[in-house]
Amino acid sequence: MNANSERLKTAKDLRDIFLSNNSKELFEAFSSLLEDTNISEIELETDFNYYFVGPDTPIAPPYASIYLDEEDSLMTKTTMQIRDLYEIMGFKNSLKDKVPEDFIGLELDAYYQLLFIEIEKEIPYLKDLRTYFLCEHIDTWIFKFINRVLEHQDKNSNAIILIIKKLDNFFKNELKIKGEIL
């Protein structure tokens, strides 16, 4: 697999993890991202919920507005800005009225789709928009989210740490190359 195909696969797997609707989808996406793990579906779902969903307050809420606007606030200025950006990109929030646009799963989906258009369809005209999204938005919050998870490893979840390290490596690499197609 070449470097661009690997980037697409990683972006898709990370997206699928955060957009999973149930433990089976979560486990399938996790298994695709990280082969050869000894983590059960139940353990993964429990840890994922503990860190990102609830029912208690999650360790690291996966929404940009939490890290960029007032602490512990959703549906803020950041959410509205991302909603407008998606409109410019031509994307529709398939989870509208259920999940705010600044949810990491939706942001990973938007980034994946823009990257897919460039790599697989060889259509470069959205590159500037993707690079803007990466450098001017994702970069402003994603590492705060990652650090929150890493600072709260009290549950000692190998699965979550593996996911977060993949997320960290993916975006560090994307920023290092400024999203250029290799």
Beta-ladder partners of 103? 63
Residue 58 belongs to a domain with what CATH number?
Answer: 1.10.3480.10
pTM of the model: 0.94
pLDDT at 97: 74
pLDDT tens-digit series, residues 86-134? 998 888 877 777 889 999 999 999 999 999 999 999 988 889 999 999 9
HSE-CB for 159 with a 13 A CA cutoff: 24
> Does residue 103 lie in a domain region?
yes
Query: Which domain range does residue 147 map to?
Result: 3-176
Is the pLDDT at 71 greater than 90? The verdict is no
Q: Is residue 22 part of a domain?
A: yes
Cα dihedral 141→105→80→149 (10° resolution): -30
In this prediction, residue 180 carries a pLDDT of: 85
**Number of independent structural domains in the chain:** 1
